């Protein structure tokens, strides 16, 4: 039995498994569910990610096949192109809508005018309409009353009445309308498909051979975290990571929408899918394979194509409920007027097409437009949640601030240690980490002639700091909570100095050595230049509350809040407090959007109605977010909110127009004002117009 899964319960037509892949934070259950639903004879799949559980129901015993798939499935396979038609993920179809139906129906319409024999006319018309009549009959028995059933009935009635002109005209108009509708929907899928970046098949990495570093060409699937990937001019970067060596001009337009190439050097972060225009880089691979930005985009696309929003489900339900209304009016009209022509007209005046198609097309258009602007939105539900969000919670560092810290002071609390020694000790311990604090410390040390201090292996404690040993004595570096509460280091002797630094607005990094507080390093993180403007724009878009979460002192938090126009602050927080505060505000009835970028932000991003991750943040934050920004700009949060608001406004206007216009058409057909041909033209014209309006999408300022 594979270690990847364990069968915990089973009956002849149902089985429940514990599945290890569900413990992966980066896995989207919608993609997995769609993949498993494609297994032949599987009738339903239910996934509980928290319990790492999958429940299958099936029409015949196929547990062996299911277990084979579960045992061999990988996350990379889920995000790769479909290869096995029997169990493939429902990728975007490359098949273009066929024009054959239009040709067949139009040929019959023209030819019928030159034929005198009624039997030949009937044969020609029935043959041309046969595909529609057959599809309508099948759908009647498989799905009940639908718009296709009504349209087929309208054409069938015209043939029965020997009104071949009406039958062929209606058939031709319906085929033309269906072709345009399919083309429009296909185009909306193409818009999303444009976001999918081509996979880089091969890459150069540094490897040690015979005591020398050489560059070796490997398949990108072989790249491991920690490998040094070498990328030259004209090549696409295959991994997400940090630059270890080199300088380059990187074109990021395909990922962030930035038109101008960006200069990159050591310490800078680069993302897969971007292209080096000039220069050469050696990149430390931080995220590879299915965890890279390009694969995450494919993950978002797959999710976007499969997901149905509540408004979309509402439109579908309404459309289905209105089908019997149309049929009822047709029946009533026949009872009163005994006029089959009027019945044929009424049966075509259906709401279904416009209601069911315009909404998903609008969502896909917005997701595509946002993606080209460097804003990845995970499906229609995320757009709905973002539109309704009335409270935006910002985790201060990396969102309202740039996240680019600068060392502005170093203090030593031990006469035997100079300020330079304290800085060198800290830089030596932190130099292999790409955290903003570590980068700032290393940069400051190098500017002052960095002298490396030998230390033992470094232990990284998430959201707290680092630990190591120097000359057999412990070194702990990190937050006050980490040193004072967890490591029990006494702060009392230096409280006045620490408070003075905090009152001056400094962010402090604390250094402990041999069980004592050795010193502090003061850092500053500037507010983003457009943070105040972005907050003001959010309020203009209807956001009622802007909340800032920070570990800073209350005094410093209040200074920032007053400067930016923030409504509420929660200061002196620990990382674990964020998710609790989000849940509390949600329990108050607020619709919460959380904006963060750190590893410890993931619980809050998941808890909120909509989570938004900044581009420089930890990848786990991006994986758990509903909206992931690929450009380092707080204005992108505003763009996402505005796109969501405008999209829902467009969908609502389309919805109202569909109901209003089609009601007028239905009334006209019921009172005999429209012939079947006119009704077909008006009905399909309305649907096509609304679809084109949806695919045109929305604009942002």
**CB 633, CB 639: distance < 8 Å:** no
Strand intervals (E) in 150-256: 202-209, 212-219, 228-232, 240-251
Tell me the residue length of the chain.
Answer: 701
If you search the block for the tokens 């702990």, which residue do you land on? 476
**CB 479, CB 551: distance < 8 Å:** yes
Tokens of 188: 């909306």
CA dihedral 218, 264, 370, 195 (to 10 degrees): -20
Backbone dihedral region for residue 313 (phi beyond 0: left; psi -120 to 50: alpha; all else: beta): alpha
C-alpha distance from residue 501 to each of 411, 414, 520 (Å) = 10, 17, 10
Q: Which helix (H) or strand (E) holds 260?
A: none
Strand partners, 474: 469
Q: How far apart are CA 321 and CA 327, in angstroms?
A: 11
Q: At what angle do helices 676-696 and 352-372 cross, to 10 degrees?
A: 20
Tokens of 164: 């071949």
Q: How far apart are CA 108 and CA 102, in angstroms?
A: 10
Q: Catalytic positions, please?
A: 395
Q: How far apart are CA 697 and CA 383, in angstroms?
A: 13
CA dihedral 247, 253, 258, 262 (to 10 degrees): 0
Q: Residue 403 gets which letter from DSSP?
A: S
Q: What are phi and psi of 250, to 5 degrees?
A: -110, 125
**CB 55, CB 14: distance < 8 Å:** yes
CA dihedral 179, 184, 189, 193 (to 10 degrees): 110
Contacts of residue 482, Cβ cutoff 8 Å, sequence gap at least 6: 461, 464, 465, 476, 510
Tokens of 168: 């062929």
Question: Any alpha helices (H) in 340-398, and if so which ranges?
Answer: 340-348, 352-372, 380-388
**CB 113, CB 292: distance < 8 Å:** no
Burial 134-152 (b: 16+ CB within 10 A, else e): eebeebbeeeeebbbbbbb
Q: DSSP states of 507-549 as a string?
A: EEEEEEETTEEEEEEEEE-PBPTTHHHHHHHHHHTT--EEEEE
Dihedral over Cα of 654, 660, 661, 662: its sign: positive
Cα 590–623–24 angle (5° rounding)? 115
Tokens of 649: 């406004």
């Amino acid at each position: 039995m594979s270690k990847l899964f364990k069968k915990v319960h089973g009956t002849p037509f149902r089985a429940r498994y514990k599945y290890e892949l569900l413990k992966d934070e980066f896995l989207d259950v919608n993609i997995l569910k769609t993949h498993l639903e494609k297994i032949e004879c599987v009738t339903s799949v239910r996934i509980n990610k928290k319990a790492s559980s999958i429940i299958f129901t099936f029409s015949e015993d196929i547990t062996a096949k299911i277990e084979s798939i579960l045992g061999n499935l990988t996350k990379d396979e889920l995000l790769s192109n479909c290869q096995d038609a029997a169990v493939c993920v429902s990728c975007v179809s490359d098949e273009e809508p066929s024009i054959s139906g239009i040709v067949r129906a139009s040929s019959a319409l023209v030819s019928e005018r030159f034929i005198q024999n009624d039997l030949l006319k009937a044969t020609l018309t029935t043959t041309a309409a046969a595909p529609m009549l057959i599809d309508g009959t099948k759908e009647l028995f498989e799905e009940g009353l639908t718009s296709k059933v009504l349209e087929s009935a309208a054409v069938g009635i015209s043939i029965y009445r020997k009104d071949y002109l009406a039958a062929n005209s209606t058939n031709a108009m319906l085929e033309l309308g269906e072709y345009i509708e399919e083309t429009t929907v296909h185009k909306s899928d193409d818009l999303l498909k444009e976001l999918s970046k081509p996979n880089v098949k091969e890459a150069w990495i540094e490897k040690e051979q015979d005591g020398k570093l050489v560059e070796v060409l490997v398949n990108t699937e072989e790249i491991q975290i920690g490998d040094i990937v070498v990328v030259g001019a004209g090549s696409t970067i295959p991994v997400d990571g940090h630059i270890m060596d080199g300088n380059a001009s990187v074109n990021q337009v395909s990922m962030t929408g930035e038109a101008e190439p960006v200069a990159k050097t050591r310490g800078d972060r680069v993302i897969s899918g971007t292209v080096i225009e000039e220069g050469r880089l050696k990149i430390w691979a931080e995220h590879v394979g299915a965890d890279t930005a390009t694969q995450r985009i494919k993950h978002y696309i797959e999710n976007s194509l499969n997901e149905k929003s509540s408004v979309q489900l509402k439109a579908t339900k309404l459309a289905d409920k209105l089908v019997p209304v149309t049929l009822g009016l047709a029946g009533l009209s026949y009872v009163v007027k005994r006029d089959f022509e009027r019945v044929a007209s009424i049966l075509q005046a259906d709401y279904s097409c416009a209601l069911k198609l315009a909404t998903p097309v609008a969502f896909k258009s917005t997701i595509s437009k946002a993606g080209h602007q460097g804003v990845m939105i995970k499906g229609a539900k995320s757009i709905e949640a973002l539109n309704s969000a009335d409270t935006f919670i910002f985790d201060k560092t990396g969102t309202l601030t740039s996240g680019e810290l600068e060392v502005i002071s170093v203090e030593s609390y031990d006469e035997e240690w100079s300020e330079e020694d304290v800085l060198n000790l800290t830089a030596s311990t932190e130099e292999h980490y790409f955290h903003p604090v570590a980068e700032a410390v290393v940069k400051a040390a190098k500017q002052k002639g960095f002298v490396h201090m030998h230390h033992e292996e470094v232990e990284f404690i998430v959201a707290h700091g680092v630990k190591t040993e120097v000359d057999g004595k412990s070194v702990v570096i990190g937050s006050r909570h980490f040193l004072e509460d967890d490591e029990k280091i006494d702060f009392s002797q230096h409280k006045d100095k620490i408070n003075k630094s905090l009152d001056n607005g400094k962010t402090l990094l604390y250094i402990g050595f041999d069980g004592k507080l050795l010193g502090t390093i003061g850092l500053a993180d500037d507010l983003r230049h457009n943070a105040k403007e972005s907050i003001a724009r959010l309020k203009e878009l209807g956001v009622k509350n802007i909340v800032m979460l920070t570990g800073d002192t209350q005094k410093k938090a209040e200074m920032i809040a007053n400067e930016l126009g923030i409504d509420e602050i929660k200061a002196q927080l620990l990382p674990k407090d964020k998710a609790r505060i989000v849940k509390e505000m949600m329990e108050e009835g607020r619709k919460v959007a959380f904006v963060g970028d750190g590893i410890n932000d993931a619980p809050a991003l998941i808890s909120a109605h909509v989570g938004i991750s900044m581009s420089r943040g930890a990848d786990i934050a991006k994986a758990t977010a509903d909206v992931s920004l690929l450009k380092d700009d707080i204005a992108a949060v505003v763009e996402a909110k505005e796109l969501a608001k405008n999209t829902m406004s467009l969908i609502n206007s389309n919805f109202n127009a569909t109901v209003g216009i089609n009601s007028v058409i239905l009334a006209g057909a019921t009172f005999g004002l429209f012939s079947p041909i006119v009704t077909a033209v008006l009905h399909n014209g309305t649907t096509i117009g609304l679809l084109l309006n949806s695919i045109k999408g929305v604009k942002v300022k």
